[in-house]
Amino acid sequence: MRIIHTADWHLGHKLHDNSQLEEQALFLDWLEQVIREKEVDMLLVSGDIFDTANPPTEATTLYYTFLAKICLSADSPCKQVVITGGNHDSPGLLNSAAPVLNHISTQIIGKATDNVADEVFEFEIAGEKIIVAAVPYLRDKDIRNQTLNERFEDPGNRYKQALIRHYQAVAEICSSKQTANTPILAMGHLFAVGGTTSDSEQSIYVGGQGDIGADDFPPIFDYIALGHLHRPQTIAGNEKVRYSGSPYKLSFSEVGHKNSIELLETDQQGKLNRENILVPTFRPMLRIEGDSQACLDQLNAYDQKHTAPLQAWAELVLDEKTPNLLSLQKATAAFPNVEVLKYSLNRTKSLHSLEDLAKQSKVIAELTPVEVFDKLCTDQEVDQSKRTRMNDLFHEILNQAQNQ
């Protein structure tokens, strides 16, 4: 049996107000081709199908068209699709189509179920059995329900313990269904300690304290297909616990790493072999550093050798203190194969206060809300004993704002 693990499609995402739907459509066409060429039996998508709770119509059309192609085509080898919700997804949107998609062998778990057994699926494909624990992103409400009437000295333990308990519960159900040589896979959308982040991910749990490690997952799982982090990676060197990463770059901070999907194959003993498959670069992303002339020279050199299907996008990191942006923008417009989306200054010295940052609008625009809040607390000399609680409240408000 062959299984693909992917995640973090973020359909409908915009990079500096520029839609990525073109490259997302090319990726889904490529993924369909891989499924056919590799004769893939099952597809797992571990959350963040969409970038927002209310994705544009073009994004939902891509999603449903892709599922129809791989699930309804008579010559498609894919027998089963399992999709779980991420922190960017609307559980209602994902689950609303579940009754229909179930009829085309697509299982959707948009949010934690009332009965955890409903998150465990047992499939038989071509005489082989496999069990999948389809755990979605656990929201604050799910965490509170699982730790009701319990008190924790450290608020972060509440989130961590709720996650661990949820996986223990599904592991027990998986164990009750397991027979000889039956592999068990788990899915998840969370931050695992030791993972490498980028600028395009947001903290999932309040204060980022609900993070668990590779050793916190029950050992019964033969592979844990994770979503949320956009760089493909294993956790703590454990090959069983893996993020597939996003299939394309979602921020300039991700320039330099390769995007991929994971192909799993079972052997006769039910063991899993893993292969990393690189996703083609449909739209190159560049981060170019130097003074204005050096950046223009590098842009010109790239423009001459561009061969990708889509126009490249670039960020210029300028060494000059006061670059002539109007002149630079006019000059970069002459390159047909690359568009500069972002100009930023090379911060060679630290800035200690919000007042310093406010004097450089280009710099403050690059900061995350968390960084601004942290600097504000420092400026106002907030008592350290209150910082943990204030950070928790700030993250809770930030998550609610971003999810809306």
- Quick one: 294 and 365 in the same domain? no
- Quick one: 37 and 67 in the same domain? yes
- Quick one: 50 and 113 in the same domain? yes
Give the pLDDT confidence score for residue 9 in this predicted structure. Answer: 98
- Quick one: 119 and 264 in the same domain? yes
- Quick one: 137 and 252 in the same domain? yes
> How far apart (Å, rounded) are the C-alpha atoms in residues 211 and 159?
8
How many domains does the chain fold into? 3
Domain limit, last residue, from 253, 278, 303: 278
Proportion of the chain above pLDDT 70, given as a percent: 83
Give the structural domain span for 204: 2-278
Give the pLDDT confidence score for residue 141 in this predicted structure. Answer: 79
Domain limit, last residue, from 278, 293, 313: 278
> How far apart (Å, rounded) are the C-alpha atoms in residues 201 and 404?
16
- Quick one: 185 and 47 in the same domain? yes
- Quick one: 144 and 48 in the same domain? yes
- Quick one: 247 and 191 in the same domain? yes
- What type of residue is 392? D
- Average pLDDT estimate for 73-82: 95
Indicate the average pLDDT of the chain.
87
Task: Look at the alpha carbons of 334, 337, 342, 347 in this order and tell me if their dihedral is positive or negative.
Answer: negative
Q: What is the CATH number of the domain that holds 301?
A: 3.30.160
Contact by Cβ (8 Å): 375, 354: yes
Other C-beta atoms within 10 Å of 283: how many? 20
Asked whether residue 217 carries a pLDDT value surpassing 60, the answer given is: yes
Other C-beta atoms within 10 Å of 381: how many? 7
Give the pLDDT confidence score for residue 358 in this predicted structure. Answer: 59
Q: What is the CATH number of the domain that holds 7?
A: 3.60.21.10
Contact by Cβ (8 Å): 144, 88: no
Tell me: the pLDDT tens digits for 118-166?
A: 999 999 998 899 999 999 999 877 777 766 556 655 555 777 888 899 9
> What's the angle, vertex CA 277, arms to CA 246 and CA 16, rounded to 5?
25
Asked whether residue 208 carries a pLDDT value surpassing 50, the answer given is: no
Sheet holding 233-235, edge to edge: 120-125, 128-134, 184-189, 223-227, 238-243, 233-235
- Quick one: 176 and 41 in the same domain? yes
> How far apart (Å, rounded) are the C-alpha atoms in residues 214 and 57?
37
Of the given ranges (24-33, 112-121, 354-363, 390-399), which has the lowest mean pLDDT?
A: 354-363
Give the pLDDT confidence score for residue 179 in this predicted structure. Answer: 87
115, with CB counted inside 10 A (0-12, 13-18, 19+), is: exposed
Dmax over CA atoms of the chain, in Å, equals 69
- Quick one: 221 and 243 in the same domain? yes
Contact by Cβ (8 Å): 70, 32: yes
- Quick one: 313 and 238 in the same domain? no
Domain limit, last residue, from 278, 293, 309: 278
219 token code pair: 């050992």
- Quick one: 263 and 341 in the same domain? no
- Average pLDDT estimate for 224-231: 95
